[in-house]
Protein backbone atom coordinates (compact mmCIF):
# COMPACT_ATOMS: atom_id res chain seq x y z
CA UNK A 1 0.00 0.00 0.00
CA UNK A 2 2.88 2.41 0.74
CA UNK A 3 6.57 2.77 -0.06
CA UNK A 4 9.04 0.78 1.97
CA UNK A 5 11.27 3.71 2.86
CA UNK A 6 12.27 7.29 2.00
CA UNK A 7 15.03 7.17 -0.56
CA UNK A 8 16.57 10.49 0.48
CA UNK A 9 16.65 9.58 4.19
CA UNK A 10 17.76 5.95 4.01
CA UNK A 11 21.03 6.82 5.79
CA UNK A 12 19.02 7.52 8.93
CA UNK A 13 18.44 3.78 9.27
CA UNK A 14 22.07 3.46 10.36
CA UNK A 15 21.26 5.30 13.59
CA UNK A 16 20.09 3.15 16.51
CA UNK A 17 16.45 3.45 17.60
CA UNK A 18 15.96 6.31 20.04
CA UNK A 19 15.50 10.02 20.56
CA UNK A 20 18.37 11.15 18.36
CA UNK A 21 17.02 9.30 15.33
CA UNK A 22 13.51 10.61 16.01
CA UNK A 23 14.84 14.18 15.87
CA UNK A 24 16.85 13.48 12.72
CA UNK A 25 13.80 12.00 11.04
CA UNK A 26 11.68 15.02 12.01
CA UNK A 27 14.30 17.20 10.35
CA UNK A 28 14.24 15.04 7.22
CA UNK A 29 10.46 15.51 7.00
CA UNK A 30 10.68 19.28 7.41
CA UNK A 31 11.25 20.05 3.72
CA UNK A 32 9.61 19.34 0.36
CA UNK A 33 8.14 16.94 -0.71
CA UNK A 34 6.95 16.59 2.88
CA UNK A 35 5.86 20.24 2.85
CA UNK A 36 3.59 22.06 0.42
CA UNK A 37 6.02 24.99 0.38
CA UNK A 38 9.70 25.06 -0.54
CA UNK A 39 10.66 27.79 1.91
CA UNK A 40 8.51 26.81 4.89
CA UNK A 41 6.89 23.79 6.48
CA UNK A 42 3.19 23.40 5.71
CA UNK A 43 1.72 19.92 5.79
CA UNK A 44 -2.09 20.06 5.67
CA UNK A 45 -4.34 17.02 5.92
CA UNK A 46 -4.85 15.01 2.71
CA UNK A 47 -2.40 17.12 0.71
CA UNK A 48 0.37 15.85 -1.57
CA UNK A 49 2.87 16.52 1.21
CA UNK A 50 0.70 14.64 3.70
CA UNK A 51 0.61 11.65 1.34
CA UNK A 52 4.39 11.72 0.86
CA UNK A 53 4.92 11.95 4.61
CA UNK A 54 2.59 9.03 5.32
CA UNK A 55 4.42 6.96 2.72
CA UNK A 56 7.76 7.73 4.33
CA UNK A 57 6.64 7.05 7.89
CA UNK A 58 4.90 3.86 6.77
CA UNK A 59 8.24 2.67 5.43
CA UNK A 60 9.88 3.31 8.79
CA UNK A 61 7.01 1.54 10.52
CA UNK A 62 7.40 -1.49 8.26
CA UNK A 63 11.15 -1.58 8.91
CA UNK A 64 10.30 -1.62 12.62
CA UNK A 65 8.15 -4.73 12.20
CA UNK A 66 4.73 -3.11 11.94
CA UNK A 67 1.88 -3.71 9.55
CA UNK A 68 0.59 -0.38 8.25
CA UNK A 69 -2.69 1.00 6.99
CA UNK A 70 -4.61 4.22 6.43
CA UNK A 71 -7.86 4.10 8.37
CA UNK A 72 -11.16 5.41 7.02
CA UNK A 73 -10.34 8.94 8.22
CA UNK A 74 -6.88 9.02 6.64
CA UNK A 75 -4.93 8.44 9.85
CA UNK A 76 -1.72 6.40 9.50
CA UNK A 77 -1.68 3.34 11.77
CA UNK A 78 1.14 0.86 12.38
CA UNK A 79 0.55 -2.29 14.45
CA UNK A 80 3.18 -4.39 16.24
CA UNK A 81 1.48 -7.53 17.44
CA UNK A 82 1.61 -8.71 21.02
CA UNK A 83 2.31 -12.19 22.35
CA UNK A 84 -1.09 -13.28 21.12
CA UNK A 85 -2.68 -12.22 17.81
CA UNK A 86 -5.45 -9.63 17.93
CA UNK A 87 -4.63 -8.62 21.51
CA UNK A 88 -5.88 -5.18 22.60
CA UNK A 89 -3.39 -2.40 22.01
CA UNK A 90 -1.54 0.31 23.84
CA UNK A 91 -1.99 3.23 21.42
CA UNK A 92 0.90 5.70 21.11
CA UNK A 93 1.39 8.62 18.77
CA UNK A 94 0.45 12.20 17.93
CA UNK A 95 -0.35 14.14 14.73
CA UNK A 96 1.25 14.39 11.30
CA UNK A 97 -0.26 17.64 10.00
CA UNK A 98 1.23 21.08 10.64
CA UNK A 99 0.19 24.70 10.72
CA UNK A 100 1.42 26.97 7.91
CA UNK A 101 5.05 28.02 8.45
CA UNK A 102 5.20 25.67 11.44
CA UNK A 103 7.96 23.85 13.25
CA UNK A 104 9.35 20.39 12.60
CA UNK A 105 8.58 18.81 15.97
CA UNK A 106 5.01 19.77 16.84
CA UNK A 107 3.09 16.50 16.62
CA UNK A 108 5.62 14.80 14.37
CA UNK A 109 8.09 14.18 17.20
CA UNK A 110 5.46 12.21 19.11
CA UNK A 111 4.70 10.08 16.06
CA UNK A 112 8.33 9.30 15.31
CA UNK A 113 9.19 8.70 18.97
CA UNK A 114 6.49 6.04 18.91
CA UNK A 115 8.00 4.45 15.79
CA UNK A 116 11.37 4.42 17.55
CA UNK A 117 9.87 2.65 20.57
CA UNK A 118 8.55 -0.17 18.41
CA UNK A 119 11.85 -0.38 16.52
CA UNK A 120 13.63 -0.68 19.87
CA UNK A 121 11.50 -3.63 20.96
CA UNK A 122 11.52 -5.27 17.53
CA UNK A 123 15.33 -5.20 17.55
CA UNK A 124 15.20 -7.13 20.84
CA UNK A 125 12.53 -9.50 19.55
CA UNK A 126 10.42 -8.45 22.51
CA UNK A 127 6.65 -8.50 22.57
CA UNK A 128 4.07 -7.74 25.25
CA UNK A 129 0.72 -9.13 26.38
CA UNK A 130 -0.76 -6.30 24.30
CA UNK A 131 -0.07 -4.96 20.85
CA UNK A 132 1.67 -1.64 20.31
CA UNK A 133 -0.14 0.56 17.80
CA UNK A 134 1.42 3.77 16.52
CA UNK A 135 -1.00 6.35 15.15
CA UNK A 136 -0.30 9.50 13.19
CA UNK A 137 -3.47 11.58 13.31
CA UNK A 138 -4.17 13.44 10.09
CA UNK A 139 -5.95 16.59 11.16
CA UNK A 140 -5.17 17.88 14.64
CA UNK A 141 -4.39 21.45 13.67
CA UNK A 142 -7.41 22.21 11.47
CA UNK A 143 -5.03 24.01 9.10
CA UNK A 144 -6.88 22.93 5.96
CA UNK A 145 -10.52 22.37 6.90
CA UNK A 146 -12.35 24.42 9.56
CA UNK A 147 -12.46 21.68 12.21
CA UNK A 148 -9.53 20.82 14.46
CA UNK A 149 -8.97 17.24 15.68
CA UNK A 150 -11.32 15.92 13.04
CA UNK A 151 -9.56 12.59 12.61
CA UNK A 152 -9.08 11.83 16.31
CA UNK A 153 -12.81 12.46 16.70
CA UNK A 154 -13.39 9.77 14.11
CA UNK A 155 -11.14 7.31 15.98
CA UNK A 156 -12.82 8.08 19.31
CA UNK A 157 -16.26 7.44 17.81
CA UNK A 158 -17.34 11.06 18.19
CA UNK A 159 -17.88 11.74 14.49
CA UNK A 160 -21.50 10.69 14.30
CA UNK A 161 -22.38 12.90 11.33
CA UNK A 162 -19.92 13.44 8.49
CA UNK A 163 -19.36 17.13 7.58
CA UNK A 164 -20.70 16.93 4.02
CA UNK A 165 -20.44 20.66 3.25
CA UNK A 166 -16.96 21.26 4.69
CA UNK A 167 -14.44 22.77 2.28
CA UNK A 168 -10.96 24.30 2.36
CA UNK A 169 -9.88 27.80 1.33
CA UNK A 170 -9.56 26.69 -2.30
CA UNK A 171 -13.13 25.42 -2.34
CA UNK A 172 -12.14 21.72 -2.32
CA UNK A 173 -14.61 19.74 -0.26
CA UNK A 174 -13.59 17.23 2.37
CA UNK A 175 -15.47 14.66 0.32
CA UNK A 176 -13.33 15.33 -2.76
CA UNK A 177 -10.09 15.43 -0.74
CA UNK A 178 -10.86 12.04 0.78
CA UNK A 179 -11.86 10.61 -2.59
CA UNK A 180 -8.49 11.67 -4.04
CA UNK A 181 -6.86 9.37 -1.47
CA UNK A 182 -9.22 6.49 -2.20
CA UNK A 183 -11.31 7.23 0.89
CA UNK A 184 -15.01 8.01 1.23
CA UNK A 185 -16.62 10.72 3.34
CA UNK A 186 -19.53 8.55 4.39
CA UNK A 187 -17.12 5.91 5.68
CA UNK A 188 -15.13 8.23 7.97
CA UNK A 189 -17.03 7.04 11.09
CA UNK A 190 -15.68 3.54 10.37
CA UNK A 191 -12.33 4.74 11.75
CA UNK A 192 -13.91 4.47 15.21
CA UNK A 193 -12.18 2.00 17.49
CA UNK A 194 -14.00 -0.16 20.00
CA UNK A 195 -13.15 0.48 23.68
CA UNK A 196 -12.15 -3.15 24.14
CA UNK A 197 -9.53 -2.75 21.39
CA UNK A 198 -7.57 0.04 23.09
CA UNK A 199 -6.16 -0.29 26.62
CA UNK A 200 -4.73 3.23 26.90
CA UNK A 201 -3.22 6.08 24.91
CA UNK A 202 0.22 7.64 25.46
CA UNK A 203 1.17 10.84 23.66
CA UNK A 204 4.56 12.53 23.75
CA UNK A 205 4.64 16.15 22.59
CA UNK A 206 6.86 19.19 22.81
CA UNK A 207 5.68 21.46 25.62
CA UNK A 208 5.00 24.45 23.33
CA UNK A 209 5.71 26.66 26.34
CA UNK A 210 8.67 27.87 28.43
CA UNK A 211 8.06 26.22 31.81
CA UNK A 212 10.35 23.19 31.44
CA UNK A 213 13.17 25.33 30.07
CA UNK A 214 12.78 27.84 32.92
CA UNK A 215 13.04 24.99 35.43
CA UNK A 216 15.88 23.25 33.54
CA UNK A 217 13.89 20.04 33.02
CA UNK A 218 13.99 17.79 29.96
CA UNK A 219 10.51 16.35 30.46
CA UNK A 220 7.27 17.01 32.31
CA UNK A 221 4.12 15.02 33.00
CA UNK A 222 0.74 16.39 31.93
CA UNK A 223 -2.08 16.17 34.46
CA UNK A 224 -4.83 17.76 32.36
CA UNK A 225 -5.49 19.56 29.09
CA UNK A 226 -7.04 22.99 29.47
CA UNK A 227 -10.65 23.83 28.72
CA UNK A 228 -10.92 26.06 25.66
CA UNK A 229 -13.43 28.47 24.21
CA UNK A 230 -12.97 30.05 20.79
CA UNK A 231 -15.18 32.92 19.63
CA UNK A 232 -15.70 34.98 16.49
CA UNK A 233 -16.44 38.63 17.31
CA UNK A 234 -17.88 41.19 14.89
CA UNK A 235 -17.88 44.88 15.75
CA UNK A 236 -19.66 47.14 13.30
CA UNK A 237 -19.52 50.93 13.30
CA UNK A 238 -19.78 53.40 10.43
CA UNK A 239 -17.17 53.74 7.70
CA UNK A 240 -16.30 57.31 6.76
CA UNK A 241 -13.74 59.51 5.05
CA UNK A 242 -10.60 59.76 7.19
CA UNK A 243 -10.21 63.45 6.36
CA UNK A 244 -13.75 64.71 6.86
CA UNK A 245 -15.16 62.60 9.69
CA UNK A 246 -14.63 64.50 12.99
CA UNK A 247 -13.05 62.46 15.78
CA UNK A 248 -15.95 63.25 18.11
CA UNK A 249 -18.54 61.86 15.69
CA UNK A 250 -16.77 58.67 14.69
CA UNK A 251 -18.06 55.14 15.24
CA UNK A 252 -14.66 53.58 14.57
CA UNK A 253 -14.89 49.79 14.70
CA UNK A 254 -11.11 49.34 14.81
CA UNK A 255 -10.66 51.73 17.73
CA UNK A 256 -13.37 49.78 19.56
CA UNK A 257 -11.70 46.50 18.70
CA UNK A 258 -8.32 47.83 19.90
CA UNK A 259 -9.85 48.70 23.26
CA UNK A 260 -11.47 45.25 23.31
CA UNK A 261 -8.11 43.53 22.73
CA UNK A 262 -6.57 45.36 25.69
CA UNK A 263 -9.58 44.53 27.88
CA UNK A 264 -9.27 40.85 26.95
CA UNK A 265 -5.55 40.90 27.75
CA UNK A 266 -6.18 42.52 31.14
CA UNK A 267 -8.80 39.93 32.09
CA UNK A 268 -6.47 37.11 31.01
CA UNK A 269 -3.72 38.55 33.22
CA UNK A 270 -5.97 38.90 36.26
CA UNK A 271 -6.66 35.20 36.81
CA UNK A 272 -4.61 32.16 37.87
CA UNK A 273 -1.43 31.32 35.97
CA UNK A 274 -3.11 28.75 33.74
CA UNK A 275 -5.72 31.24 32.46
CA UNK A 276 -4.87 32.71 29.06
CA UNK A 277 -6.90 34.92 26.73
CA UNK A 278 -5.73 35.66 23.20
CA UNK A 279 -6.80 37.63 20.17
CA UNK A 280 -4.90 35.98 17.33
CA UNK A 281 -6.80 37.03 14.23
CA UNK A 282 -8.22 40.38 13.16
CA UNK A 283 -9.80 41.51 9.89
CA UNK A 284 -10.47 45.22 9.19
CA UNK A 285 -13.12 46.34 6.70
CA UNK A 286 -12.63 48.08 4.32
CA UNK A 287 -8.98 48.05 5.34
CA UNK A 288 -7.68 51.08 3.43
CA UNK A 289 -5.63 54.01 4.78
CA UNK A 290 -8.07 56.84 4.14
CA UNK A 291 -11.29 55.27 5.49
CA UNK A 292 -12.41 55.08 9.11
CA UNK A 293 -12.89 51.34 9.67
CA UNK A 294 -16.56 50.41 9.61
CA UNK A 295 -16.24 46.77 10.63
CA UNK A 296 -13.77 44.51 12.41
CA UNK A 297 -13.90 40.76 12.86
CA UNK A 298 -11.58 39.13 15.37
CA UNK A 299 -11.05 35.91 17.29
CA UNK A 300 -10.94 35.29 21.03
CA UNK A 301 -9.33 32.19 22.50
CA UNK A 302 -9.83 31.60 26.25
CA UNK A 303 -8.24 28.64 28.06
CA UNK A 304 -7.75 27.42 31.62
CA UNK A 305 -7.08 24.15 33.38
CA UNK A 306 -10.42 24.48 35.17
CA UNK A 307 -13.60 25.00 33.17
CA UNK A 308 -15.07 27.24 35.89
CA UNK A 309 -12.10 29.61 35.60
CA UNK A 310 -12.43 29.69 31.81
CA UNK A 311 -16.17 30.31 32.05
CA UNK A 312 -15.83 33.12 34.59
CA UNK A 313 -13.18 34.88 32.50
CA UNK A 314 -15.33 34.50 29.39
CA UNK A 315 -18.31 36.06 31.16
CA UNK A 316 -16.13 38.96 32.28
CA UNK A 317 -14.84 39.46 28.72
CA UNK A 318 -18.36 39.46 27.33
CA UNK A 319 -19.49 42.06 29.88
CA UNK A 320 -16.50 44.28 29.12
CA UNK A 321 -17.06 44.10 25.37
CA UNK A 322 -20.76 44.86 25.67
CA UNK A 323 -20.02 47.94 27.79
CA UNK A 324 -17.39 49.38 25.46
CA UNK A 325 -19.51 48.64 22.37
CA UNK A 326 -22.40 50.60 23.89
CA UNK A 327 -20.10 53.47 24.87
CA UNK A 328 -18.49 53.62 21.41
CA UNK A 329 -21.83 53.14 19.60
CA UNK A 330 -20.80 50.05 17.63
CA UNK A 331 -22.80 46.86 17.31
CA UNK A 332 -21.41 43.66 18.80
CA UNK A 333 -21.89 40.05 17.73
CA UNK A 334 -20.13 37.19 19.57
CA UNK A 335 -20.48 33.64 18.24
CA UNK A 336 -19.02 30.49 19.78
CA UNK A 337 -16.79 28.59 17.36
CA UNK A 338 -15.30 25.92 19.62
CA UNK A 339 -15.96 24.54 23.10
CA UNK A 340 -13.48 21.99 24.39
CA UNK A 341 -13.94 20.84 27.98
CA UNK A 342 -11.01 20.38 30.34
CA UNK A 343 -9.64 16.87 30.00
CA UNK A 344 -7.97 15.30 33.03
CA UNK A 345 -5.37 12.67 32.23
CA UNK A 346 -5.93 9.27 33.82
CA UNK A 347 -4.65 9.45 37.40
CA UNK A 348 -3.17 5.93 37.52
CA UNK A 349 -1.41 6.28 34.18
CA UNK A 350 -0.14 9.74 35.12
CA UNK A 351 1.32 8.35 38.33
CA UNK A 352 2.96 5.53 36.38
CA UNK A 353 4.40 7.99 33.88
CA UNK A 354 5.67 10.17 36.73
CA UNK A 355 7.38 7.17 38.32
CA UNK A 356 9.02 6.34 34.99
CA UNK A 357 10.20 9.95 34.61
CA UNK A 358 11.60 10.01 38.14
CA UNK A 359 13.41 6.73 37.55
CA UNK A 360 15.07 8.07 34.39
CA UNK A 361 15.83 11.64 35.48
CA UNK A 362 16.47 11.05 39.18
CA UNK A 363 14.12 13.89 40.18
CA UNK A 364 10.42 14.23 40.86
CA UNK A 365 8.98 15.39 37.53
CA UNK A 366 7.12 18.62 36.99
CA UNK A 367 3.38 18.02 36.75
CA UNK A 368 1.64 20.54 34.54
CA UNK A 369 -1.56 21.50 32.76
CA UNK A 370 -1.35 21.69 28.98
CA UNK A 371 -2.65 25.00 27.69
CA UNK A 372 -2.55 23.66 24.14
CA UNK A 373 -5.13 21.22 22.85
CA UNK A 374 -4.01 17.73 21.82
CA UNK A 375 -5.48 14.61 20.28
CA UNK A 376 -5.28 13.04 23.74
CA UNK A 377 -8.22 15.17 24.89
CA UNK A 378 -10.37 13.56 22.20
CA UNK A 379 -9.03 10.01 22.62
CA UNK A 380 -9.97 10.28 26.31
CA UNK A 381 -13.54 9.52 25.21
CA UNK A 382 -12.29 6.12 24.01
CA UNK A 383 -9.61 5.09 26.52
CA UNK A 384 -7.61 6.40 29.51
CA UNK A 385 -4.86 8.78 28.37
CA UNK A 386 -1.56 10.18 29.60
CA UNK A 387 0.90 12.68 28.13
CA UNK A 388 4.62 13.38 28.36
CA UNK A 389 5.95 16.85 27.58
CA UNK A 390 9.42 17.46 26.13
CA UNK A 391 11.28 20.74 26.58
CA UNK A 392 11.46 22.98 23.51
CA UNK A 393 13.84 25.89 23.08
CA UNK A 394 12.39 29.17 24.30
CA UNK A 395 8.97 27.57 24.54
CA UNK A 396 8.58 28.42 20.84
CA UNK A 397 6.14 26.43 18.71
CA UNK A 398 4.00 26.92 15.59
CA UNK A 399 7.08 28.68 14.30
CA UNK A 400 10.04 27.58 12.12
CA UNK A 401 12.30 28.46 15.07
CA UNK A 402 10.88 25.50 16.98
CA UNK A 403 13.80 23.46 18.36
CA UNK A 404 14.54 20.58 20.71
CA UNK A 405 17.68 19.15 22.27
CA UNK A 406 18.21 15.55 21.05
CA UNK A 407 19.47 14.62 24.53
CA UNK A 408 16.12 15.73 26.00
CA UNK A 409 14.32 13.62 23.43
CA UNK A 410 16.51 10.66 24.32
CA UNK A 411 15.51 11.08 27.96
CA UNK A 412 11.87 11.14 26.90
CA UNK A 413 12.45 7.98 24.90
CA UNK A 414 13.84 6.27 28.00
CA UNK A 415 10.86 7.45 30.05
CA UNK A 416 8.48 6.00 27.50
CA UNK A 417 10.23 2.64 27.38
CA UNK A 418 10.13 2.46 31.16
CA UNK A 419 6.44 3.34 31.13
CA UNK A 420 5.60 0.64 28.57
CA UNK A 421 7.52 -2.00 30.51
CA UNK A 422 5.86 -0.96 33.79
CA UNK A 423 2.48 -0.96 32.06
CA UNK A 424 3.15 -4.53 30.88
CA UNK A 425 4.26 -5.59 34.35
CA UNK A 426 1.03 -4.38 35.89
CA UNK A 427 -1.27 -6.10 33.43
CA UNK A 428 -3.22 -9.03 34.90
* Residue 141 marked in a binding site: yes
CATH number at residue 299: 3.30.70.360
CATH number at residue 151: 3.40.630.10
* SS3 state at 190: helix
Q: Of 9-18, 187-196, 233-242, 360-369, which gets the smallest average pLDDT?
A: 9-18
**In a shared domain, residues 165 and 60:** yes
Instruction: Please report which confidence band the pLDDT of residue 16 belongs to, taking 50, 70 and 90 as the band edges.
Output: confident
Q: Tell me: the pLDDT tens digits for 31-74? A: 999 999 989 999 999 999 999 999 999 999 999 999 999 999 99
* Residue 290 marked in a binding site: yes
* Residue 106 marked in a binding site: yes
Question: Which of 274, 308, 340 corresponds to the end of one domain?
Answer: 340
Helices (H), 276-405: 307-328, 347-361, 376-379
* Residue 126 marked in a binding site: no
Helix H or strand E encompassing 298: strand 295-304
**In a shared domain, residues 36 and 90:** yes
**In a shared domain, residues 30 and 84:** yes
SS3 for 209-261 is CCHHHHCCCCEEEEEEECEEEEEEEEEECCCEECCCCCHHHCCCHHHHHHHHH
Q: How far is CA 245 from CA 251, 286, 344, in A?
A: 10, 16, 53
* Residue 303 marked in a binding site: yes
The full DSSP string for 34-101 is: SSSSSSS----TTSHHHHHHHHHHHHHHHHTT-EEEE-TTS-EEEEE--SSTT--EEEEEEE----TT
**In a shared domain, residues 126 and 150:** yes
Q: Tell me: the pLDDT tens digits for 217-251? A: 999 999 999 989 999 999 999 999 999 999 999 99
What integer pLDDT is reported at residue 399 of this predicted model? 92
**In a shared domain, residues 402 and 335:** no
* Residue 318 marked in a binding site: no
**In a shared domain, residues 49 and 179:** yes
The answer to whether 190 touches 178, Cβ cutoff 8 Å, is no
**In a shared domain, residues 291 and 415:** no
What integer pLDDT is reported at residue 5 of this predicted model? 55
**In a shared domain, residues 385 and 273:** no
**In a shared domain, residues 187 and 77:** yes
Q: Tell me: the pLDDT tens digits for 364-411? A: 999 999 988 899 999 999 999 999 999 999 999 999 999 999 999 999
* Residue 205 marked in a binding site: yes
Amino acid sequence: MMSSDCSDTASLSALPPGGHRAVARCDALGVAPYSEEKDQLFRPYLSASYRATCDCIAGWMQSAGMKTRLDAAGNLVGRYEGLTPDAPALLIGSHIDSVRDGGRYDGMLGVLMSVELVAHYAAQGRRFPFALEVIGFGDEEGSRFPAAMLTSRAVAGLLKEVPADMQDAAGITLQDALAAEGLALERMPEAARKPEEILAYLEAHIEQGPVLEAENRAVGVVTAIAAQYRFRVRMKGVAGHAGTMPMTLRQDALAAAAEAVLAIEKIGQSGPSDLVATVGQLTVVPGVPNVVPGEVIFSIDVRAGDAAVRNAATAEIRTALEALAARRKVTLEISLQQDLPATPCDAALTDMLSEAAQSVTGTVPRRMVSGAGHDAMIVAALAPVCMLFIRCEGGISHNPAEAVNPSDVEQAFQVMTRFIEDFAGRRP
